[in-house]
Amino acid sequence: MRNRKLAEFWQVAIVLMAFSMVLMAALEYNTGFDLKIRNTFYKSAKYLELPAVVLRDTVESIFIISKGKEAFLEEINLLQRENIALRLQLNKLREQQDEAIAQAYLPSQENSNALRAKIIYRHPGWWWRYMTVDKGGKDGVKRGMPVLSGENVVGRIFLVEDTTSVVELITSPDLRIPVVVDDTRDIGVLSGDGKGKMILHYMPKDITLPSDIQVTTAFAMGNFLPGLLVGTIESLQEDMSVGDFTTYKVKPNVNFSRLRRVTILEVM
């Protein structure tokens, strides 16, 4: 009985081994029939494996999210560095643009010389009153010379050192300039309010000036040339009216926040 079982075992074992070899030899790997068998089996097995596949995908997606987060952070870092580099480049280009504009608007009067100067210091406490430029007495700068940005008035030279000068800005309450309103030809006096704007005094009360009218320097006063742009009328200030005259708030044409270079005008 035992021997018969053993013989049966060996017979089956040899048959199965031989059959496996025949299968391997007869069915070429990845041929049409082979693939068909695999596909058919896979179609039925995939439902059986669904829980495992879902679990694997979930774990994989968690890893991917974690990896994705790292990649995002790296990209943000890279973009921030790129952003800084672009900002620096933009600032440089703006400076070049300002320079080009200033060159283009240099006064064409024959009786004047222009000197380009760079702003080197602005005291925070005197932000709207004074600024220091890198040209001084050695460069020919003298007290009272008008300082422009393009064709717009920035202020005038207030103090001259050997290599630097202090410019009194048109937004300073201490600086008073005679000006003329372009459209009406009314003459008044302009002074700064110390807060980035200017006040136009002595305007006739009977005519209300509309906003956005240009105000220019009135006539030669000291070293100022007439016709230089100063600012535009912004609004009427009725509370500061005195007698038959009223005052207007004027916005300077120069953007003092972005001002980096100025032109010092020497009037012959």
Partner 1 sequence: MPSLWLVIVISWIAQDLLRALITPFMAVPDMYILALGMLFTKESYNEVLILVAAFIGGLLWDARWGAPLGFTSMLYVGCLIVLKIAWGAVSHAAKTPAVAFFLVFSVHLCASLIELILYRNTVLFPGFSFIAKQIGALIFCLLVHAHLLREEMD
State which of residues 1, 3, 23, 243 lies at the interface with partner 1 (CB under 8 A). Answer: 23
Q: Decide if residue 36 touches partner 1 (CB under 8 A).
A: no
Provide the pairing of β-strand 146-149 with 176-181.
Answer: unpaired
Q: Rounded to the nearest whole angstrom, what is the least distance from the CB of residue 8 to partner 1 in the complex?
A: 6
Q: Are 263 and 147 in contact (CB under 8 A)?
A: yes
By C-beta, is 63 or 72 nearer to partner 1? 63
By C-beta, is 51 or 125 nearer to partner 1? 51
State which of residues 21, 76, 100, 220 lies at the interface with partner 1 (CB under 8 A). Answer: 21
Q: Decide if residue 1 touches partner 1 (CB under 8 A).
A: no
Q: Rounded to the nearest whole angstrom, what is the least distance from the CB of residue 25 to partner 1 in the complex?
A: 8
Strand spans (E) along 111-213? 112-121, 130-133, 146-149, 152-160, 165-169, 176-181, 187-192, 198-204
Choose the stretch contacting partner 1; rule: CB under 8 A; options: 46-54, 87-95, 108-116, 198-206: 46-54
Q: Decide if residue 19 touches partner 1 (CB under 8 A).
A: yes
Closest by CA to 126, choosing from 168, 84, 186, 70, is: 168
C-alpha 191/C-alpha 249 separation (Å) is 10
Return the H-helix or E-strand segment holding 229: strand 229-242
Query: What backbone torsions phi and psi does residue 224 show, to the nearest 5 degrees?
Result: -70, 135
The DSSP bridge partners found for residue 202 are none
Q: Decide if residue 63 touches partner 1 (CB under 8 A).
A: no
Give the distance between the most distant pair of CA atoms in the chain: 138
Residue 30's SS3 state is coil
Return the H-helix or E-strand segment holding 217: strand 214-217
Q: Decide if residue 17 touches partner 1 (CB under 8 A).
A: yes
C-alpha 46/C-alpha 126 separation (Å) is 79
By C-beta, is 8 or 99 nearer to partner 1? 8
Closest by CA to 156, choosing from 167, 164, 166, is: 167
Q: Decide if residue 62 touches partner 1 (CB under 8 A).
A: no
Q: Rounded to the nearest whole angstrom, what is the least distance from the CB of residue 36 to partner 1 in the complex?
A: 11
State which of residues 20, 83, 109, 184 lies at the interface with partner 1 (CB under 8 A). Answer: 20
Q: Decide if residue 41 touches partner 1 (CB under 8 A).
A: yes
By C-beta, is 22 or 187 nearer to partner 1? 22
Closest by CA to 184, choosing from 202, 201, 209, 205, is: 209
State which of residues 1, 52, 104, 268 lies at the interface with partner 1 (CB under 8 A). Answer: 52
Q: Decide if residue 34 touches partner 1 (CB under 8 A).
A: yes
Tokens 């896979």 -> residue: 42
> Which amino acid appears at position 132 of this protein?
T
Q: Decide if residue 42 touches partner 1 (CB under 8 A).
A: yes
Choose the stretch contacting partner 1; rule: CB under 8 A; options: 23-31, 83-91, 192-200, 260-268: 23-31
Residues that bind partner 1 (CB under 8 A): 5, 8-9, 12-13, 16-17, 19-24, 27, 29, 34, 37-38, 41-42, 45, 48-49, 51-53, 55-56
